Chains A and B, each alone.
Chain A
Amino acid sequence: MIPFDYRRAGDAETAVAAVAGNPGAAFLGGGTNLVDHMKLGVAEPDLLVDVTRLPFDSVDPLPGGGLRIGAGVRNSDLAADERVRTRYPVLAEALLSGASGQLRNLATTGGNLLQRTRCGYFQDVTTPCNKRRPGEGCSAREGYHRYHAILGASPHCVAVHPSDLAVALTALDAVVRVRGPRDGHGERAIPAAELHRLPGEHPEWDTVLGHGDLITAVDLPPLPMAARSRYRKVRDRASYAFALVSVAAAVELTGDVIGDVRIALGGVAHKPWRATLAEAALRGRPPDRAEFRAAAEAELADAQPLRDNRFKVPMARNTIVSVLAGLTGEEPR
C-alpha cells in the first residue's frame, strides 16, 4: 500500500471538489473493495475522501410512492428495511446473497454499485489487464475465465460486474442520483441500467461516471409489480461466493397472460444485463415454462461463451426459467 492522505468530507460539495481537484483522489465508502485493491496494488489513490459521514444514510419515501436510498446506507440496513422487504423483495434478496454478514455491515449502497470486477487477472498486478492498465492485453480471454462474461464482452475485456445489488436495481428501473463537479448544487439522474457500461474499447471505465462524480442516492420507482419479485444466485458454495449466474425478476400477470415483466442477469456481462429481448418476448404471453424457455433462449442467442464458461449459457437459461416459474406459481412441481 502506498502512502495516502485521508480527509473526512463535511458535505457533498466539499467532497466532490476535493476528489475532482485531484486526479489521484478517490471516495471512500465502506472500504470493503477499495482497501483490498489498495493492498493488492490495484488501486493507488493518494487521497481518500471519506464520505461515510455525509447525510446520505437513510431510506426515505418519495412523493408518488417510491423510495430514496441514501448512498451511504449500509447493505445490511437496506436489506432489513421493511419497505424494501415487502415492496421490493428482489432487492433484499440480492443484498443478502452478497458477500458475508461482516462485509454487508460495512458496505454502502453507492460503494456496492461501484465495486470492481473479481477477475483474478485484474487483481494480480503482475499480469496484463486492459481494465487495470489499458493496452496491456486481456489475460482472461485465453486464461482462467470460468467466472467471466458470456454477453457483451469485447476483445479487450471479458470481466463481469460482481454486484448483486446492481442486478436487482437494474431490473427495478432504479435511478442513480449523482452529484458531479459540473453539477453545481444540483444532481443528475442516471438510470441504473445505464450506470455501468460494456467494455468496448475502454474496459478501464466500469461506469459512465466521471472523476469526482459522487453517487448520493438511488431512487426506486413506485413499481407495484416489484412486490412479486425474486433474486436467485447460482454459485459454487452456499454463502460468501460470487455469482456464476444470477437472475433478478419481477412479473405482473394480467388475466391469463404476462402483463409486464422485468428481468436482469448478473455474472454474465461487464454490466448488470437487462434482458430486454426476453422481456419483449414474454409480454402478452401465457406464463408457462415453454414460453419462459423460449424467451430465455432469445436473450441468450447472441451469447459468446469462452472456452471454459460455456456452462453459463444453459445455466442462465435454466435460472431464468426457474425464477419466472417460481414467480408465476409454476413451481414447485
Chain B
Amino acid sequence: MTTSTKSTVTRTDGIGASPRRPDGTAKVRGEFAYSSDLWHEDMLWGATLRSPHPYARITGIDIARALALPGVYAVLTHADVPGVNRYGLEHADQPVLAEDVVRYRGEPVVVVAADHPETARRALERVEVGYEVLDPVTDAESAVAGQGAELHPGGNVVRHVPIRRGDPDAAAEVVVTGRYEVGMQDQAFLGPESGLAVPAEDGGVDLYVATQWLHVDQRQIVAALDLPEDKVRLTLGGVGGAFGGREDLSIQVHACLLALHTGRPVKMVYNREESFYGHVHRHPAVLYYEHGADRDGTLRYVRARIYLDGGAYASSTGAVVGNAATLGVGPYDVPNVSVDCWGAYTNNPPCGAMRGFGAVQAAFAYESQMDRLAAACGLDPVEVRIRNAMAQGTVMPTGQVVDSPAPVEELLRRVRAKPLPPEPSGEPDLRTLPGGVSNTTHGEGVVRGVGYAVGIKNICFSEGFDDYATVRVRLQVVGGEPAATVHTAACEVGQGLVTVLQQIVRSELGVERVTVEPSDTTIGSAGSTSASRQTYVTGGAVREACLRIRDALGALSPAELGDKVLDETVEWRHRPTEELHPETGQGNAHVQYGFAAHRAVVDVDTELGLVKVVALDCAQDVGKAINPQAVLGQIQGGSAQGLGLAVMEEIKTEGGVIRNPSFTDYLIPTVLDMPPMSIDVLELADPHAPYGLRGVGEPPTISSTPAVVAAIRAATGRALTRVPVRPEHITGT
C-alpha cells in the first residue's frame, strides 16, 4: 500500500481491511464507558493527599481530625499497607504511601475514602502532616556527578549504559559537536486516572481500571496488599489514551486498600491537575554529541553522552536508558561508536514511559547533528543521511546484525520525492499562516523552510525480557452460524487492538463473527500495551491459536462443527533477545526495528517568531498493514505528538514543582496547528514476525520532532538546540 488514505476493503473484514471499530461509534457519540464512568451503588470515593514539597522528611502525620469528619470511612497511611510498601515497574523503590521521606511534589502520603468526593477532599484538608523541608536535587547531570543529597540507597544513578564499538580513538577530517536539550513532555491523554475497587467475599478484591498492562499491575498490587494472586482480580476499564503514561501504578493499590479496609466499593478519579502529578512523563534530556566524518560525509565515529532525568523514582528509566543508548546514533551505519547514557534520580516529577521511549530524545540530537554534518560537508541533508543509512545486514553499535528490511534510504527518498506544498500566493487563507486564525501574520516577514529527519525504534520488549502473550480462542456454532471468541488480557487503549485481533481471526478461521471478550486477569498475561508490541505479540498469539484450531478442524468447515467447541489457549513468544554486556553494551538486545522518515515544511514569521507547519509528510515501513486505516491513524497521531514536542509541549518545572498542570497552560497541538499529511506506507515483510508486520505506533513520533525543527532552522538560520522551540528562540530575544 502506498500513498493512500483509502483502505482496501475486503469482503471478509480480515487482514488488510479497515473494518469499523467496535468502540468507534460509542466514542464519537460520547457514549463509550470510560473507567471514570464506573459506578457501584454503595460505593465510596477515594482521594489522595499529596506532598506539597519536592523533597522533605515527614515528621508526623495526624489523621484524627480527618477521621472525625462525618462521612469519612477510612484515612490510611503507610502504616496501613499490609504488604511491602514499595512498588515499581523495574525496581520496587516507590512507596505506596510515603513513610519517612517524600521525594517529589505530588507524592501520595495519605488516602481517604468517604461518602462523597467533596467529603473526601475535605477530609484531606484535615490531615496534618509535618514536614522538614530538604534541599531538592533538580538537575540530572549534577545528580549523576554525585552532587546533592542521595535520594535512594546506592546513589542517584538509576542506570548507566555504555555502548562501545570499534576504535574509541577514531579521528575524522570533519567534526561537528553539539549540546541539545529536550523538555519534559506529557502524554496528555484525555481520560484521567480512574478505577473502581470492589471488595469480594473471599477476602480479595476486584479492580476495574484503565491501564496498559493488567498483570504487571496485579503483580505490584498483590505485593503491597500481601494477598495471593488469585485474590486480586483486574478487569480493564475503558481507557482514554495512554501513550506510556499508564504503565505505572496510580490509583490501583490505593483503591484496593481502601476497598478492603472499608468493605465497600471505592472509586477514584484524578482531576486534570492531579493527573499531571499522578503519572510519569517523558524524560527531559541533555545530550552531548560529537560526529566525525570524511569530507564526503561518510561517518567515521559518533561519541555521545546522554543524561535523562528520571525524577524521584525509577519507573521504567532503566529501559529508557537502554533505548537511548542502543539507538543513540540513529538509523546509520557507524563503524566507531562510544555512547554513554545515564538515568538519574532527582526530586523532579517521576519520568518513565512515553511513546518513543528514549529514542525520541536521542533522535532530536542525532538528527540535529546530521544536519550540522551536512552543512559542514556542503552536502544536502538528505544526501548525508542516505550516504550513511543503515540497511539490512548493517551491524548496529551493539554488534547486532540487522536481519530484516531496514529501508532507511527508501523512506528518505520517498519523502523527498513528494510534491512540495505550493508557495503562498494572493490573498492568503489565514488558517495557513503562522499564528493561524488569530490573525497575527498576513505574510510579511514569512520565510519558508524545509527539514528532514529519519528515526529508528526497537519494537517489543528488549534486553532479554521474557516477552509473551497468552490468548484463548474458541470456535463453535452459535445460532447456526460459526462464531469465534478471543480472550486475552491485552489492553485496548484506543489504538485499535480489538479490531486487529478480530481481523486476524476472520482471516485465519474464515468466520465473520468474532467477539473479543473483556480483558482481565482470569487468563495469563498478554504483556504491556507499549513498545509498539501488541499487534506483533498478542496478534501473533491469536494467529498461533487459530492455526491450532485449524489443525483440529481438519477437513471440516467451521459451520460443520455441530455441538463441538474447539478451544485453544496459547502462550506465544517472539524470538529471545539478549542482555547488553555491562561494559561494552554489546548484545542482540532488540527483536525488531521500526523506521519512519518525515519531511516538514514550515512557514516562519521571523518578526514575531511564529511557526506554521505547512506540511509534515511521512514514509514508514510497517511490514504488513493489518488495518491500513489504523496504521494511518497511528502515523498521524504520532506525527502530531512529535510536532507538539517540537514547538509547544513542555511541562515547566521550577524546583521540582509543575507550573502548568492544566490543558490551558500545557499546550498540545490543535487541529489548526497540524497540517494534513501525505503518508507512504511501505510493507516490507520482516521474516521473523507474524505476517511480516512491524510495530507502528512509535516510529512516527520520533522523526517528526527533528524534521520540524530542521525546517525552522532552514527558515531562520538559528541553531535551535532545544525543544520545544518558542517564539523567543526564533526571534533571538
Pick the contact of A144 from B431, B654, B672 — CB < 8 Å? B654
Indicate the member of B440, B609, B664 with the most A CB atoms within 10 Å.
B440
Tally of contact residues, A, Cβ under 8 A:
39
Write the nearest CB–CB distance from B440 to chain A, whole angstroms: 5
A237 and B673 in contact, given A1-B118, A322-B607, A332-B444 (Cβ under 8 angstroms):
yes
B 125-155 to A, binary, CB cutoff 8 A, 1 in contact else 0: 0000000000000000000000000000000
A residues 103-161 near B (Cβ < 8 Å) are: 118, 120, 124, 126, 143-144, 146
> Is the Cβ of A237 less than 8 Å from the Cβ of B670?
yes
> Is the Cβ of A232 less than 8 Å from the Cβ of B731?
no
Enumerate chain B residues within 8 angstroms of A5, measured Cβ to Cβ: none
> Is the Cβ of A234 less than 8 Å from the Cβ of B610?
yes
Flag whether B608 is at the interface (Cβ < 8 A).
Answer: yes
A320 to B436, CA, bound (A): 18
Indicate the member of B608, B612, B726 with the most A CB atoms within 10 Å.
B608
A218 to B233, CA, bound (A): 61
- Stretch of A18-26, A185-193, A309-317 on the interface side: A309-317
Enumerate chain B residues within 8 angstroms of A231, measured Cβ to Cβ: 439
> Is the Cβ of A239 less than 8 Å from the Cβ of B436?
yes
Flag whether B648 is at the interface (Cβ < 8 A).
Answer: yes
Chain B residue nearest to A97 in the complex (CB): B438
Chain A residue nearest to B52 in the complex (CB): A126
Flag whether A211 is at the interface (Cβ < 8 A).
Answer: no
Flag whether A93 is at the interface (Cβ < 8 A).
Answer: yes
Flag whether A240 is at the interface (Cβ < 8 A).
Answer: yes
Flag whether A318 is at the interface (Cβ < 8 A).
Answer: yes
Enumerate chain A residues within 8 angstroms of B607, measured Cβ to Cβ: 318, 321-322
Flag whether A197 is at the interface (Cβ < 8 A).
Answer: no
A332 and B442 in contact, given A144-B652, A311-B728 (Cβ under 8 angstroms):
yes
> Is the Cβ of A319 less than 8 Å from the Cβ of B440?
yes
Flag whether B518 is at the interface (Cβ < 8 A).
Answer: no
> Is the Cβ of A238 less than 8 Å from the Cβ of B444?
no
Number of A-B contacts (CB under 8 A): 108
A239 and B670 in contact, given A126-B52, A233-B440, A322-B607 (Cβ under 8 angstroms):
yes
Enumerate chain B residues within 8 angstroms of A120, measured Cβ to Cβ: 659-660, 665
Flag whether B727 is at the interface (Cβ < 8 A).
Answer: yes
> Is the Cβ of B654 less than 8 Å from the Cβ of A314?
no
A232 and B438 in contact, given A238-B670, A315-B609 (Cβ under 8 angstroms):
yes
> Is the Cβ of A239 less than 8 Å from the Cβ of B438?
yes
Chain B residue nearest to A240 in the complex (CB): B670
A residues 226-244 near B (Cβ < 8 Å) are: 230-242, 244
Chain B residue nearest to A241 in the complex (CB): B667
Chain B residue nearest to A93 in the complex (CB): B439
> Is the Cβ of B667 less than 8 Å from the Cβ of A237?
yes
Flag whether B437 is at the interface (Cβ < 8 A).
Answer: yes
> Is the Cβ of A315 less than 8 Å from the Cβ of B727?
yes
Pick the contact of A236 from B52, B444, B672, B727 — CB < 8 Å? B727
> Is the Cβ of A238 less than 8 Å from the Cβ of B438?
yes
A315 to B654, CA, bound (A): 25
A238 and B733 in contact, given A311-B727, A331-B443 (Cβ under 8 angstroms):
no
Enumerate chain B residues within 8 angstroms of A310, measured Cβ to Cβ: 728, 733
Pick the contact of A313 from B439, B444, B733 — CB < 8 Å? B733
Enumerate chain B residues within 8 angstroms of A124, measured Cβ to Cβ: 659
Write the nearest CB–CB distance from A124 to chain B, whole angstroms: 8
Chain A residue nearest to B667 in the complex (CB): A237
Flag whether B669 is at the interface (Cβ < 8 A).
Answer: yes
A231 to B439, CA, bound (A): 8
> Is the Cβ of B659 less than 8 Å from the Cβ of A144?
yes
A331 and B444 in contact, given A1-B118, A120-B660 (Cβ under 8 angstroms):
yes
Chain B residue nearest to A313 in the complex (CB): B733
> Is the Cβ of A311 less than 8 Å from the Cβ of B731?
yes
> Is the Cβ of A234 less than 8 Å from the Cβ of B670?
no
Flag whether B435 is at the interface (Cβ < 8 A).
Answer: yes
A93 to B610, CA, bound (A): 19
A232 and B659 in contact, given A322-B607, A322-B608 (Cβ under 8 angstroms):
no
> Is the Cβ of A244 less than 8 Å from the Cβ of B727?
yes
A114 to B599, CA, bound (A): 45
Flag whether A325 is at the interface (Cβ < 8 A).
Answer: yes
Chain B residue nearest to A333 in the complex (CB): B444
> Is the Cβ of A238 less than 8 Å from the Cβ of B672?
yes
Enumerate chain A residues within 8 angstroms of B673, measured Cβ to Cβ: 237-238
A318 to B733, CA, bound (A): 12
> Is the Cβ of A315 less than 8 Å from the Cβ of B608?
yes
Write the nearest CB–CB distance from B50 to chain A, whole angstroms: 11
A93 to B437, CA, bound (A): 10
A135 to B597, CA, bound (A): 55
Enumerate chain B residues within 8 angstroms of A318, measured Cβ to Cβ: 445, 607-608, 731
> Is the Cβ of A237 less than 8 Å from the Cβ of B669?
yes
Write the nearest CB–CB distance from B731 to chain A, whole angstroms: 6
> Is the Cβ of B608 less than 8 Å from the Cβ of A236?
no
Flag whether A326 is at the interface (Cβ < 8 A).
Answer: yes
Write the nearest CB–CB distance from A293 to chain B, whole angstroms: 11
Pick the contact of A234 from B118, B443, B727, B733 — CB < 8 Å? B727
A235 to B733, CA, bound (A): 16
Enumerate chain B residues within 8 angstroms of A233, measured Cβ to Cβ: 435, 438-440
Write the nearest CB–CB distance from B397 to chain A, whole angstroms: 37
Enumerate chain A residues within 8 angstroms of B440, measured Cβ to Cβ: 232-235, 319, 322
Write the nearest CB–CB distance from B548 to chain A, whole angstroms: 51
A213 to B664, CA, bound (A): 29
A237 and B648 in contact, given A313-B733, A332-B444 (Cβ under 8 angstroms):
yes
Chain A residue nearest to B729 in the complex (CB): A311
Chain B residue nearest to A40 in the complex (CB): B273
> Is the Cβ of B435 less than 8 Å from the Cβ of A236?
no
Chain B residue nearest to A235 in the complex (CB): B438
A120 to B431, CA, bound (A): 30
A143 to B439, CA, bound (A): 31
A238 and B436 in contact, given A318-B607, A331-B444 (Cβ under 8 angstroms):
yes
Enumerate chain B residues within 8 angstroms of A144, measured Cβ to Cβ: 652, 654, 659
A314 to B670, CA, bound (A): 27
Pick the contact of B437 from A126, A238, A241 — CB < 8 Å? A238
Write the nearest CB–CB distance from A171 to chain B, whole angstroms: 15
> Is the Cβ of B608 less than 8 Å from the Cβ of A234?
yes
Enumerate chain B residues within 8 angstroms of A315, measured Cβ to Cβ: 608-609, 727-728, 731, 733
Write the nearest CB–CB distance from B369 to chain A, whole angstroms: 27
B residues 662-678 near A (Cβ < 8 Å) are: 664-665, 667, 669-670, 672-673
Write the nearest CB–CB distance from B129 to chain A, whole angstroms: 13
> Is the Cβ of B442 less than 8 Å from the Cβ of A311?
no
Write the nearest CB–CB distance from B8 to chain A, whole angstroms: 35
A 269-301 to B, binary, CB cutoff 8 A, 1 in contact else 0: 000000000000000000000000000000000
Enumerate chain A residues within 8 angstroms of B609, measured Cβ to Cβ: 234, 311, 315
Enumerate chain A residues within 8 angstroms of B665, measured Cβ to Cβ: 118, 120
Enumerate chain A residues within 8 angstroms of B52, measured Cβ to Cβ: 126
Write the nearest CB–CB distance from A326 to chain B, whole angstroms: 6
Enumerate chain A residues within 8 angstroms of B669, measured Cβ to Cβ: 237
Enumerate chain B residues within 8 angstroms of A146, measured Cβ to Cβ: 726
B 564-581 to A, binary, CB cutoff 8 A, 1 in contact else 0: 000000000000000000
A133 to B143, CA, bound (A): 36
B 232-266 to A, binary, CB cutoff 8 A, 1 in contact else 0: 00000000000000000000000000000000000
Write the nearest CB–CB distance from A82 to chain B, whole angstroms: 19
> Is the Cβ of A326 less than 8 Å from the Cβ of B610?
no
A 230-270 to B, binary, CB cutoff 8 A, 1 in contact else 0: 11111111111110100000000000000000000000000
Q: List 11 A-B contacts (CB under 8 A).
A: A1-B118, A96-B437, A231-B439, A233-B435, A233-B438, A237-B667, A238-B612, A242-B664, A314-B731, A315-B609, A315-B728
Q: Which 9 A-B pairs have the closest CB atoms?
A: A238-B436, A311-B728, A238-B672, A311-B733, A318-B607, A332-B443, A144-B659, A233-B438, A97-B438
Other than the given A144-B652, A236-B667, 16 more pairs (CB < 8 A) read A230-B439, A231-B439, A232-B438, A232-B440, A234-B609, A235-B440, A239-B438, A239-B672, A240-B664, A241-B667, A310-B728, A311-B726, A311-B733, A315-B609, A318-B731, A333-B444
